[in-house]
Amino acid sequence: DRAEAREVVLGEHAPELVTHADTGVDGAVEHPADDRVARRKPAQALAGESIAGVYSSPMQRAHATATIIAAPHGLPVVVRSGLNELDQGDLEGLKQDELRERYPELLRRWVAGDTSVKLPGGESMEELQSRVWTAVQDILVQHQANTVAIVSHNLAILAYICKALGVPLSVFRRLRQQT
């Protein structure tokens, strides 16, 4: 069940101006992105490429980065909700000490690599992977044999990469993205 494209360029949005230490757990919470050099780097790297489509999650920080990538190609940014970050539900905004106090068993399972653990009011990593995989495959069907740029989020991209590589989803913890 794989759609093929010549090349898929997956990128994470530009860094945010606030950190997780400032805001606690965040996934679907909007924070202003750093509008300086970080957003221009992917656009510069892809300026000479033939890009057939640019896609983004609906979050402003991803869309803003995708807009800069799309501009030199004269392309619109197409928003796909399936590219959004892990829905962390009731955990959004909680600091580490609050997580340990309120959800010790959930945190134990998460740290142990249980990708089936569903976050209260949110989703599991397995659900995230399924959602992102479907979204990307739908995009690739539309752009067979062409290059597409997709701007998403850390866990969403890592979940996709695990499936694309055919490795267990729990491997996501060992993967790193280059910024």
What confidence tens digit (pLDDT) does each residue in 129-148 have? 999 999 999 999 998 878 89
67: Cα separation from own chain's centroid = 16
pTM above 0.95, yes or no: no
d(CA 124, CA 110) in angstroms, rounded, equals 10
Contact 87, 120 (CB under 8 A): no
Would the pLDDT of 162 be above 50? yes
* Residue-level pLDDT at 136: 94
Pick from 6-10, 30-34, 96-100, 164-168: least confident: 30-34
Name the CA dihedral angle for 10, 36, 61, 44, rounded to a multiple of 10 degrees.
-30
Give tens-digit pLDDT for 38-71. Answer: 556 666 777 788 899 999 999 988 898 899 899 9
| pLDDT tens sequence across 78-122 | 999 999 999 999 999 899 899 999 999 999 999 999 999 999 999
Residues 6+ apart with CB under 8 A from 157: 10, 11, 12, 132, 177
CA distance 136 to 159: 12
For residue 41, CA distances in Å to 15, 55, 122 come to: 12, 17, 32
